[in-house]
């Protein structure tokens, strides 16, 4: 069986064509170097070097074997380097799921932060609703996900990545757009574009709870799943809406955004979630990046 030390000895002698210089290069003496070459020749059942007292030359077999020996050593060095990088969480591929709304602001910032902190890590990004992300995490389809709470599955763990306020979205020409901020009472009886109770249950439950606590009942005209679709109907003048602050990044023409004056904050939250027993060092590095981003 080939031995890496034998290959290194052969390559050194083949490149130096001198046992003394090759031994010095490898920080060893000539006798063990000669023995390594002899063992290699017996393993290969081929003479690799012609040796005389005055010169060393490669045989035809030696000339043929030299590039192969170099290639084997390069592969071993590369494998060692890659393995160490992966073990340290500095290299590899990380499959990350995300919700559509997280792509408005948080995801681009996360990608930028990862490129700076983990330059040799490739993020494989997959847009998925929260339910599909949970299934993807459990099946191993994704390594981590950016999902809406609550995260209750016993095999999953999570940490809050983002908490952003809700803001009011209204047609730019609407009378309420003249106000610097809106109260929930401003929505009483107003036409409202709501979130679908099943497909967008997180935002649906959040908004319903806000209005219930304030004792306000808007007039729901449509129930949609995607925030950009809701903003399109706001732009068309069909009603008002509550959206996460990051939705302003979509820059919908003729849609005004105003902060909400709430008696107590109820932010829209986003959680980084992963399998509890997952031991990939890359995941630990990602969690550190997210933790730094979410730090006050």
On whether both 274 and 155 belong to a single domain, the answer is yes
On whether both 275 and 242 belong to a single domain, the answer is no
Q: What pLDDT does residue 87 have?
A: 59
Among 66, 87, 108, residue at a domain's last position: 87
Q: What pLDDT does residue 120 have?
A: 83
CATH number assigned to the domain comprising residue 261: 3.40.190.10
Name the residue with higher pLDDT: 75 or 245: 245
Instruction: Specify the 3-state DSSP secondary structure of 129.
Output: coil
The confidence band for 92, taking pLDDT boundaries of 50, 70 and 90, is confident
Name the residue with higher pLDDT: 84 or 222: 222
Burial 37-46 (b: 16+ CB within 10 A, else e): beebbeeeee
Among 87, 109, 140, residue at a domain's last position: 87
The confidence band for 286, taking pLDDT boundaries of 50, 70 and 90, is very high
The confidence band for 229, taking pLDDT boundaries of 50, 70 and 90, is very high
Extended strands (E) in 187-228: 191-195, 219-224
Nearest of 274, 159, 265, 253 to residue 213 by alpha carbon = 265
DSSP 240: B
The whole-chain average pLDDT of the chain stands at 91
* Least confident interval from 87-91, 110-114, 226-230: 87-91
Best-predicted range by mean pLDDT among 72-86, 108-122, 179-193?
A: 179-193
On whether both 50 and 32 belong to a single domain, the answer is yes
Cα separation of 277 and 262, whole Å?
A: 39
The confidence band for 280, taking pLDDT boundaries of 50, 70 and 90, is confident
Nearest of 57, 52, 31, 43 to residue 6 by alpha carbon = 43
% of the chain residues with pLDDT over 90: 69
Among 38, 67, 87, residue at a domain's last position: 87
CA 70 to chain centre: 35
CATH number assigned to the domain comprising residue 82: 1.10.10.10
Q: What pLDDT does residue 263 have?
A: 84
On whether both 172 and 259 belong to a single domain, the answer is yes
On the question of pLDDT at 89 being above 80, the answer is: no
Question: Diameter of the chain by CA atoms?
Answer: 104
On whether both 151 and 275 belong to a single domain, the answer is yes
Q: What is the mean pLDDT of residues 198-220?
A: 95
Residue 267 in contact with residue 285, Cβ under 8 Å? no
On whether both 171 and 262 belong to a single domain, the answer is yes
Count of domains in the chain?
3
| pTM (2 d.p.) | 0.70
On the question of pLDDT at 88 being above 60, the answer is: no
Express each pLDDT in 7-62 by its tens digit.
899 999 999 999 989 899 989 999 998 999 899 899 899 999 988 878 899 999 99
For 119, the token pair is 């330059």
On whether both 8 and 73 belong to a single domain, the answer is yes
Q: What pLDDT does residue 81 have?
A: 59
Q: What is the mean pLDDT of residues 227-233?
A: 96
The confidence band for 72, taking pLDDT boundaries of 50, 70 and 90, is confident
Q: Which domain holds residue 44?
A: 4-87
The confidence band for 76, taking pLDDT boundaries of 50, 70 and 90, is confident
């Amino acid at each position: 069986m080939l031995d890496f030390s034998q290959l290194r000895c052969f390559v050194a002698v083949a490149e130096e064509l001198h046992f003394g210089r090759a031994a010095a290069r490898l920080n060893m003496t000539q006798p063990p170097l000669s023995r390594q070459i002899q063992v290699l020749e017996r393993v290969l059942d081929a003479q690799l070097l012609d040796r005389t007292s005055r010169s060393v030359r490669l045989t035809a077999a030696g000339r043929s074997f030299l590039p192969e020996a170099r290639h084997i050593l390069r592969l071993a060095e590369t494998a060692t380097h890659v393995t160490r990088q992966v073990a340290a969480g500095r290299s590899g591929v990380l499959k990350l799921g995300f919700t559509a709304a997280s792509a408005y602001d948080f995801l681009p910032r996360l990608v930028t932060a990862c490129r700076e902190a983990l330059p040799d890590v490739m993020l494989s990004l997959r847009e998925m609703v929260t339910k599909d992300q949970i299934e993807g995490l459990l099946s191993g389809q994704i390594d981590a996900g950016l999902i809406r709470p609550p995260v209750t599955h016993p095999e999953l763990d999570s940490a809050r990545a983002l908490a952003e306020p809700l803001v009011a979205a209204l047609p730019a020409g609407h009378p309420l757009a003249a106000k610097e901020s809106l109260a929930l009472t401003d929505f009483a009886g107003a036409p409202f574009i709501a979130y679908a109770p099943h497909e967008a249950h997180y935002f649906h439950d959040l908004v319903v709870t806000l209005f219930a606590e304030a004792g306000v009942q808007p007039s729901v005209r449509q129930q949609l799943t995607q925030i950009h679709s809701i903003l399109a109907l706001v732009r068309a003048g069909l009603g008002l809406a509550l959206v996460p602050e990051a939705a302003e990044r979509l820059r919908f023409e003729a849609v005004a955004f105003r902060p909400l004056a709430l008696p107590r904050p109820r932010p829209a939250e986003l959680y980084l979630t992963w399998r509890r027993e997952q031991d990939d060092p890359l995941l630990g590095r990602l969690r550190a990046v997210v933790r730094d981003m979410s730090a006050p």
